Amino acid sequence: MIKIGIIGGSGLDNPDILKDPRLISVDTPFGKPSSALKVGQIAGVEVALLARHGVGHTIPPSNVNFRANVAALSSHGCTHVLATTAVGSLRQEIQPGHLVFPSQFIDWTKKRASTFFDGDRVVHTPMAQPFCPNLRALFASTATDLGLPFHKDKTVITIEGPRFSTRAESHMFRQWGADVINMSTVPESPLAREKKLHYAAVAMSTDYDCWHEEEEAVTWEMIQQTMHANADRVIRLFLALIPKIAATTDECNS
């Protein structure tokens, strides 16, 4: 049975989109997740919402218990995970307010627990396609139907945070081929792969990071303002997308 987990990032930590919502407190072998699961239905499909940074955004990126979050959704029976995230744009054409559906990531984090298999069992997880290709295709087709501005097949680089990049780092990331930058995709994506979940991210461009010297330097206030202004786009996308997921036979290897 299809059951969908939504990981709400900055600006989307507690959207009011579920029918008959209720809260479920979950514990995992890796500790408690960032929030209780808010469960209910969208178009008859079972959905569980989890606030990555806690309800009210109280947990900084480096302190998020990513393993507990992914384990909580997996133990609840989720088969698919739709993750939202705020990103800075590293490309002129990815304007603030645009949606991005990344297909690759670069890991520039430094201290996060990034696997469930750090005990006696050695597991090497394939990561050539870190985001479910079928979900990414559904994201793009649904965004097209809704007339939402988006970019697909892009690379996101995840930094440790909580600080933003220096200008030198921002230029370096551009040279590496990264298109957007955030603080949350890793280790969330590889952990979801280890749990055999179909995972894909909807990234919302909020700013031009700091490489674009003609633009104002990024601030947290700027990110919040743009995220809240564009949260409706992501909600519209999910409301249209989730029935399509339930009606699709997902045969990818994610």
Please give the Cα distance from 178 to 164 (Å, whole number): 15
SS3 120: coil
Cis peptide before 187 (omega within 30 of 0): yes
pLDDT value at residue 154? 98
In this prediction the pTM is 0.92
Beta bridge partners, 108, equal: 159
* Full set of structural domains in the chain with CATH: 3-246 (3.40.50.1580)
* Model pLDDT for residues 123-170, shown as the tens digit of each residue: 999 999 999 999 999 999 999 999 999 999 999 999 999 999 999 999
pLDDT value at residue 81? 98
Q: Which residues are annotated as catalytic?
A: 207, 209
Say how far residue 44 (Cα) sits from the centre of its chain. Answer: 23
Per-residue pLDDT band at 215 (split at 50, 70, 90)? low
pLDDT value at residue 20? 92
pLDDT greater than 60 at residue 6: yes
Please give the Cα distance from 207 to 89 (Å, whole number): 6
Please give the Cα distance from 231 to 224 (Å, whole number): 10
* Model pLDDT for residues 90-130, shown as the tens digit of each residue: 999 999 989 999 999 999 999 999 999 988 888 999 999 99
Higher pLDDT, 120 or 204: 204
pLDDT greater than 70 at residue 217: no
